[in-house]
Amino acid sequence: MNRKIFKYSILLFIFLGIFFRFFNLDYKVYWFDEVYSTYRIAGFTNREIDREIFADRIVTPESLQKHQQIKPETTVVDTVKTLITEDTKHPPLYYVLARFWMERFGNAIAIFRMLPALLSLLSLPLIYALAKELFATRFAAEVATAFLALSPFDILFAQTVRQYSLLTVALLGSSLLLLRAVRLRSWKNWMLYGILCTLGLYTHLFFVLTLFAQGLYVCLLKTREILFKFLGAIALTLLLYSPWLSAIALSHERAISSSDWTKASVGLLYLIKFWILGFTSPFFDLDFGIDSFWTYAIRLPVAICIFASLYLVFRRTSRSTYLFIFTAIFVPFLILALPDLVIGGKRSSVTRYLICSFPGIQLAVAYFFAQKLPAKQGLWKGLFALVLTGSILSCAVSAFSPSWWSKGVSVANAEVAEVINRVDRPLVISDRGNSWTNKGNLISLSYLLDEDVRLLLLSYPPQPEVLATFELPENAKIFLYQPTQKLREELETRLGSLQYSLKKGGLLQPRSPSR
């Protein structure tokens, strides 16, 4: 292999990955989770937004975006207070950074998404340094950097107003500092590791999954001195994190109840399908439907490559190296998957919940190709080209798509908006929704609706006397957007035959995938 050509190719792949992170930043649906992140950053609470939005009045799409702008007379302290009051499962580090970003640069969608995209760039030098620390070869480090740069999963969430790209930075940084602390054994390195772990916990609670993995790795090294220093670093982390631990302890019931949707029992086949989709998404992310044979068949080369990589890592690397890779991948996954298998649930089927396992997989596959590419057989070069082509194709198709599976409960909003915008004089009627998701989804939808669309947003439960006061615009095309059953019943009474009244509009009940 011509080393110079390969090096320039890797640089090209990295620059292409950077390009995809910033291309069409404002094109995809601004989805439910992003809406929630933004009004938390802006200093609003759920209660005041519910009170202002579902106020039994007709509003414009633009008026719904009021809560996506910084609340007057608030500071970053108010941003933190909203999290403490209503959402302690989301620690404040990213939200504080985003608050300063919003104050400095404004509130356009592209501006919101620019921050996580920029933060994601920090992961590229970190995975290079981590791979070099693990495998002691620049070749593997370069391949790992290319894989992360072109990862369809990482690019999707680098364009999401959420803390996932910062979490990836914390995962990689803490892993790098842990390995250096183990090798150099100085208290300075362990202290830096403890501080970065604190930042990881202040970024996302999922970071604790990686802490468990790193703790098991240290225990398996069976070195008393290393274990003692690791425990000292963790003690420092817990001390620095104790203020937020106190906040979590005071509101743990609310935090647990907000994740009840992950406890819904699903079958083993369901879990396996989403495991395949999830673990291949760092390399390939096209599908033809969740039940299509081709969705899984087309990912087969990637799955085989991952298994072969793990086998090669086990066979050819030192015990400390393969222990690190295996614990980094399987401990976070099993912490999520075992409860799903034993007591039921679908935690491990949510692709973004597997984020702590992905760097280990990318490192393993990078090592595999670093070992195989110098060989003269064209098979490995062809497989390497196939994997990268799949990543580039996935990124390209996603870049020109208005929505993607990562948009969760808002995945269908682009299609819904198209249906509404297509008619004359549309009126959308809605309330909180059966699962309280309408607030975020309606604000998400507002970015896609034409200026002439009007929305009648009602309080819950619907008041018959309030409905009686509304004179529906003549010749209006009426749409019901994910209404509660009570709202449907009241409108049946108010309008007579609901089906007849909506014959020129429709009932909008979009469903979303569980990934």
Give the orientation angle of helix 358-372 with respect to helix 164-184, to 10 degrees: 60
Q: Do 303 and 429 belong to one domain?
A: no
Residue 188's Cβ-count burial label (10 Å; 0-12, 13-18, 19+) is exposed
H/E run at residue 199: helix 187-203
250: left (phi over 0), alpha (psi -120 to 50) or beta: alpha
One domain for residues 460 and 398: no
Same domain, 317 and 364: yes
Q: Which of 106, 109, 103, 99 is nearest to 34 (CA)?
A: 109
Same domain, 426 and 399: no
Same domain as 283, residue 210:
yes
pTM confidence score = 0.93
CA dist., res. 457 & res. 59, Å (int): 8
Looking at beta carbons, which pairs linking 237-243 to residues 24 or more positions away fall under 8 Å? Answer: 237/194, 237/195, 237/197, 237/198, 237/201, 237/211, 240/194, 240/195, 240/198, 241/198, 241/201, 241/202
Same domain, 366 and 429: no
Residues with Cβ < 8 Å from 8, sequence gap 6 or more? none
CATH code for the domain of 471: 3.40.50
The domain total for the chain is 3
450 with 373, same domain? no
pLDDT at residue 258 in the model? 66
Whether 301 is in a domain gets the answer yes
Residue matched to tokens 């870049």: 399
Residue 144: inside a domain, yes or no?
Answer: no
- Residue 88, token pair as written in the block: 């302690």
State whether 412 and 324 are in the same domain.
no
DSSP letter assigned to residue 70: P
CA distances (Å), origin 108, targets 26, 28, 30, 69: 8, 13, 11, 9
User: Residue 378 burial by CB count (10 A; 0-12/13-18/19+): exposed, middle or buried?
Assistant: exposed
Q: Which of 374, 405, 436 is the last residue of a domain?
A: 405
Let me know if residue 43 belongs to a domain. yes
How far, in Å, CA of 249 to CA of 236, rounded?
A: 19
Least Cα distance to 277 among 156, 368, 161, 158 occurs for 156
Mean pLDDT per block of 10 residues along the chain (515 residues) reads 80 96 95 95 91 90 93 93 92 97 94 97 98 94 97 97 97 97 91 97 97 97 93 96 92 69 82 94 90 89 94 96 98 96 91 96 97 81 91 96 92 92 90 86 95 91 75 76 86 60 56 58
In a domain, 70, yes or no: yes
Q: Is residue 513 part of a domain?
A: no
What is the dihedral sign for C-alpha 236, 239, 244, 245?
Answer: positive
The conformation of residue 138, written as its DSSP 8-state character, comes to H
b/e map 362-374, b = 16+ CB within 10 Å? bbbbbbbbbbbbe
Its domain, for residue 56, covers 3-119
What pLDDT sits at residue 63? Answer: 93
Bridge partner list, 429: 456, 480
What would the DSSP string read from start to end of 347-401? GGGSGGGGGGGHHHHHHHHHHHHHHHTTSS-HHHHHHHHHHHHHHHHHHHHHHT-
Mark whether 362 and 419 lie in a shared domain.
no
**Whole-angstrom distance, CA of residue 98 vs CA of residue 102:** 6
Question: Do 384 and 422 fall into the same domain?
Answer: no
Residue 146 covered by a domain: no
- Please give the structure tokens belonging to residue 98: 């985003």
One-character DSSP codes across 428-459: EEE-S-TTS-HHHHHHHHHTTS-TT-EEEE--
pLDDT at 490: 80
Q: Which of 405, 425, 453 is a domain's end point?
A: 405
**What are the structure tokens assigned to 277, written together?**
């989709």
Beta strand pairing status for 426-430 and 57-59? unpaired
Decide which of 85, 102, 119 is a domain's last residue. Answer: 119
Question: Which helix (H) or strand (E) element contains residue 59?
Answer: strand 57-59
State CA 184 to chain mean position distance. Answer: 35
Rg, Å, the chain Cα set? 25
Write the CA distances from 430 to 34, 302, 478, integer angstroms. Answer: 21, 44, 11
506 beta partners: 479
Q: Provide the token pair at 507.
A: 């009932």
Residue 371 lies in a domain: yes
Q: Is 130 inside any structural domain?
A: no
The conformational region for residue 289 under phi > 0 = left, psi -120 to 50 = alpha, else beta, is left
Residues 440, 328 share a domain? no
Closest to 67 measured CA to CA, from 47, 39, 40: 39
Same domain, 245 and 339: yes
